[in-house]
Structure 1
Amino acid sequence: MIHRIASVSIVLAWCLTSSTLAGEDDAAAAERGRIALTLQGYLKPAWKDSTYRNVSRLWGNEKVPADLSDAGYAEVFSRRYGLHPAPYPNDGLPMGLRRGNGPDGSKTGIQIDCMVCHGGSIGGTSYVGIGNSTLDLTSLLQEMTQAEGRRLPPSLFVLNSVRGPVNAGMISAVLLALRNPDLSFRAFPLLLGARLPEMDTPPWWRLGRKSTMYYDGRTDARSVRTNMQFLMGEKTLKQFQELEPTFRDIQAYLKSLKPPKYPFSIDAAKSGRGEQVFAKNCVKCHGTYGPDGKYPNKIIELKVVGTDPARALGLSDRLVAHYNTTWFAADHPSDETMVGYQAPPLDGLWATAPFLHNGSIPTLKALLQSSLRPKKFKRAANTDFAHFDQREVGWKVEVIDDSAPSEKPQSFVESRSTYDTSRFGLGNGGHTYGDKLTDDERSDLIEYLKTL
């Protein structure tokens, strides 16, 4: 079970900046990193090859014809679990799954790789590095395990209560609790006291601008080792050391990623006015953009930003202290002081909905006008542009009114799509800076944000 947990997101936060590479060396390292990330697996298989097809027997009313083509099956499998086509060679499997590395080096069995969380699509195009806003990781892990006739392990924490967010932080905390400072395995886990919530996956293309990483900004972005911690289900210290150069190349690749451009028309006059609104209200925290853009890398106190505090408060002092005794933190220890949340760069903002670190706000309009934020809603079924709101910039959602419950039968996807802001870590409060703007200023600002 440990290696299966570790597979959830091999490199959840490869938020790194290159410190020694330059010019052609950068390009060569990035290309090596692209190959290492997209064409190579690093964990043992979690399931047999046959399980990929056999799991459909658990899908109840969603009958799958036995003679369905591989491409057709990949489509229905992806729709159920919120996966996307791979924009690289992947044996016909959805992005996030790959043929495993067998003990003898053979490509047998199925494993999860980092793109299950860090690979998604928007408007029918898949991207490495865009957060997967439709993923239902709990259902994927549970049903693939059940399809092999194995018992489900006890649930130690909520992995995800709704499609999109994932609790990768607790995966890391559990794996770390099973290691001693020298990274030898423990028979019994340490009681580290972490309590982290599920969160949306941030885009990798922002990482090159940051000097600290993770939502709380407590880790130096130059660290390669911290991003290897999701391999703790299997790897020894020696294996980690051998893999570090490969992960350094992956760092260069992630730093090279760029966001997709906004694909619809932009009103130049509104955008120009919006840039002035942005300069007056947003630059201090989120920086400037364009060829000479500068990012301030500011960590904002919880009492100032006011967003759901569960992620910032969830790292216990014991967990941070234990992490800092290990090889992972030898070069770049984590900051032992919690301040709040890092105001992120906004490159490619339009493609990162829903917004805030927990994905609790469907559109930029609602982010900038807090009275519009729904308390309970169904997230979009997929990331096709049919569900994209060009005016408010974000996803069209169905607001749920508990006082008038619907009797309409729900599909499996619909039953797993309800976002409830009253749940632990999923609150949609805070970041109310846009409330003071006029309607025209807010509209102009949204138009400018499309250009980033």
Structure 2
Amino acid sequence: MKKRIVIGGTVVTLAVVGLAVAWLGGFLPSQFGADPQRHRSPTGEVPATEQRPGDPEAGYHALVNEPYVSCGMPQEAWSRLAPETDSSDLLPGREGRNAELPYSLTAHVNADGIEIISNNCLVCHAAPIGDEVVVGLGNPFADFTVDARSLVNQVGRYVRGPAQTAAWQHWADRIEGIAPYIQTDTIGMNPATNLSWALMAHRDPDTMAWSDTPLLEPPPETPVPLRTPPWWWMSKKNAMFYTTIGRGDHSRYMLFASLLCADTVEELDEIDAYAPDIRAYLESLSPPAFPGEIDEALAAEGRPVFEANCASCHGTYGEAPSYPNRVIPLDKIGTDPLYAATMTDGSLDRFYKWVDRSPHGGTVRAAPAEGYIAPPLDGIWAVAPYLHNGSVPSLAALLDSRLRPRYWRHAETREHDAEAMGWRHEVLESGKDAAADSAERVNIYDTTLPGYDNGGHDFGDDLSEQERRAVLEYLKSL
């Protein structure tokens, strides 16, 4: 069966594979240096910030063609390891070698004339639902549980000649620096936050020069559990990420992994020139329509229930939509506090100060709030699992906390459950500690572990069963 890729609301018959990197550098202006609270934001409403305009069409072209991650595998070595690319893995609008590659990979020729294959953003930001692969949807099956150095070593066996060796070594040195901090213990969790801190630890903030020895104490080796949210929510949100740490110019936060390879301020400036276009493209994306039948009468019954119980945080929808951009305090939302607490307890301030010193001042402020932003709900049917840590496998369980499993894993078929509004999953009797081996362990979602708790957001518990059914039906229409 062929999968369809949904790009900006247009359906294309293609499939996708990938492994991703996330976000371009955002930098805190030195003018905030006198403010003792410059690294914190209050909960409540998030103010809007003027954004640089961009061209969505040019942004798509840049997203799938430009080498914003400029180091990687020499193409000749990669070709000896890579399986044959199926035509269903190709993406429209790509040029040159890129037109032949799975869309999670990008090719370019480096200054020494060596063709390089590197990862791009689409492994984390594309995922299949049925026979569709939706570009912009966070990938709940992205696997960062393997040590990234294993691929580097595999590729290294096939490198030939001094120029290829130099290109491989450049990539290998960067992966060696970040690998200890980006390995997750559960498939579907995204280590991009830890990746950002690890890169800062190895870079001089004034020059962007790389140091094999960390210049700052690196982050903890275990990434806090996080799922990848969909890109199309960016059009409504005034700040980026779950704690709204990304204040100011969003286009300078989007592709932070460019710091993996960009060794000079001039290289970052080149990427920054088209970053507003990429942002404009992401904001032009629309969510996929619910693929099944919607009971219009039941959905109409659910709308007033939703507006009375959910809209004050998540907004309204229809002809005159609104979105409040509200960060909900931890004591009110009640969901796992580890991520928000870690962002605001002072343990990461050395990285926020790194941002202070960086050269792109005057546009971005790194200022998390001690809570989580209530997201828009456009396309919410498609973005399981739920909560910031992906601990709840379905919307039905999100609206009724009694249905939330303590231990679970995705079904091997990776099918979407249109009734429960989530991914089909298996409820387990035990967690990771009882797993027979590591291959089984990484597939288990264990809500008893730090950062993985599935409590909180229990507002739906007060609804009747009929009200919950009606709200679920209404959510299919958003």
Into which bin does the TM-score normalised by the smaller protein fall?
0.7 to 0.9
Q: TM-score, normalised by structure 1?
A: 0.81
Unaligned runs of 5+ in 1: 1-6, 57-67, 76-83
Is 1:103 the counterpart of 2:130? The answer is: no
Contact 2:303 2:471 in 1 (8 A): yes
Give me the whole-angstrom Cα distance separating, in 2, the residues matched to 1:300 and 1:374.
Answer: 24
Q: Which one of the candidate residues 225, 228, 234 is aligned to 1:198?
A: 225
- Tell me by how many angstroms 1:196 deviates: 4.6
Q: Which position in structure 2 is the counterpart of 1:169?
A: 193
Give me the whole-angstrom Cα distance separating, in 1, the residues matched to 2:341 and 2:127.
Answer: 29
Describe the superposition over 1:243-268 as per-residue Cα deviations: whole angstroms up to 9, x where unpaired. 21200111111110111000100001
Q: 1:312-331 counterparts in 2 under 5 A?
A: 312-315=340-343, 316-328=348-360, 330-331=362-363
Give me the whole-angstrom Cα distance separating, in 1, the residues matched to 2:454 and 2:360.
Answer: 33
Contact 1:46 1:109 in 2 (8 A): yes
Is 1:352 the counterpart of 2:383? The answer is: yes
Give me the whole-angstrom Cα distance separating, in 2, the residues matched to 1:347 and 1:329.
Answer: 33
Contact 1:45 1:111 in 2 (8 A): yes
Note closer, same or farther for the CA distance 1:100–1:166 as it changes in structure 2 (3 Å cut): farther
- Tell me by how many angstroms 1:51 deviates: 5.0
- Tell me by how many angstroms 1:274 deviates: 0.8
- Tell me by how many angstroms 1:52 deviates: 4.5
Given residue 102 of structure 2, which amino acid in structure 1 is its aligned partner?
P
Is 1:136 the counterpart of 2:143? The answer is: yes
Note closer, same or farther for the CA distance 1:193–1:34 as it changes in structure 2 (3 Å cut): closer
Contact 1:381 1:417 in 2 (8 A): no
Give me the whole-angstrom Cα distance separating, in 2, the residues matched to 1:53 and 1:91.
Answer: 15
Give me the whole-angstrom Cα distance separating, in 2, the residues matched to 1:422 and 1:87.
Answer: 43
Note closer, same or farther for the CA distance 1:378–1:146 as it changes in structure 2 (3 Å cut): farther
Q: Which position in structure 2 is the counterpart of 1:444?
A: 470
The alignment covers a number of residue pairs equal to: 411
Contact 1:302 1:339 in 2 (8 A): yes
- Tell me by how many angstroms 1:332 deviates: 2.2
- Tell me by how many angstroms 1:339 deviates: 2.4
Q: Which position in structure 1 is the counterpart of 2:14?
A: none
Q: Which one of the candidate residues 355, 376, 384 is aligned to 2:407?
A: 376
Q: TM-score, normalised by structure 2?
A: 0.77
Is 1:216 the counterpart of 2:243? The answer is: yes
- Tell me by how many angstroms 1:222 deviates: 3.3
- Tell me by how many angstroms 1:105 deviates: 5.7
Q: Which position in structure 2 is the counterpart of 1:78?
A: none
Q: Which position in structure 1 is the counterpart of 2:39?
A: none
Q: Which one of the candidate residues 328, 332, 350 is aligned to 2:364?
A: 332
Describe the superposition over 1:430-452 as per-residue Cα deviations: whole angstroms up to 9, x where unpaired. 11111111111111100000011
Q: Which position in structure 2 is the counterpart of 1:160?
A: 184
Contact 1:226 1:329 in 2 (8 A): no
Give me the whole-angstrom Cα distance separating, in 2, the residues matched to 1:165 and 1:329.
Answer: 31
Q: Which position in structure 1 is the counterpart of 2:127?
A: 120
- Tell me by how many angstroms 1:234 deviates: 2.4
Give me the whole-angstrom Cα distance separating, in 1, the residues matched to 2:49 and 2:197.
Answer: 24
Q: Which one of the candidate residues 358, 363, 366 is aligned to 2:394?
A: 363
Contact 1:137 1:160 in 2 (8 A): yes
Given residue 165 of structure 1, which amino acid in structure 2 is its aligned partner?
M
Note closer, same or farther for the CA distance 1:85–1:242 as it changes in structure 2 (3 Å cut): closer
Q: Which position in structure 2 is the counterpart of 1:343?
A: 374
For residue 239 of structure 1, give the secondary structure of its aligned residue in structure 2: helix
- Tell me by how many angstroms 1:219 deviates: 2.2
Q: Which position in structure 1 is the counterpart of 2:5?
A: none
Q: 1:239-318 counterparts in 2 under 5 A?
A: 239-315=267-343, 316-318=348-350
Describe the superposition over 1:9-41 as per-residue Cα deviations: whole angstroms up to 9, x where unpaired. 142799x987464xxxx6xx1111110001222
Q: Which position in structure 1 is the counterpart of 2:12?
A: none
- Tell me by how many angstroms 1:157 deviates: 2.8
Given residue 123 of structure 1, which amino acid in structure 2 is its aligned partner?
G
Q: Which position in structure 1 is the counterpart of 2:42?
A: none
Unaligned runs of 5+ in 2: 1-18, 27-47, 158-171
% identical equivalent positions: 33
- Tell me by how many angstroms 1:326 deviates: 2.0
Q: Which position in structure 2 is the counterpart of 1:60?
A: none
Note closer, same or farther for the CA distance 1:183–1:442 as it changes in structure 2 (3 Å cut): farther
For residue 392 of structure 2, give the secondary structure of its aligned residue in structure 1: coil
C-alpha root-mean-square deviation of aligned residues, in Å?
3.2
Q: Which one of the candidate residues 453, 456, 460 is aligned to 1:434?
A: 460
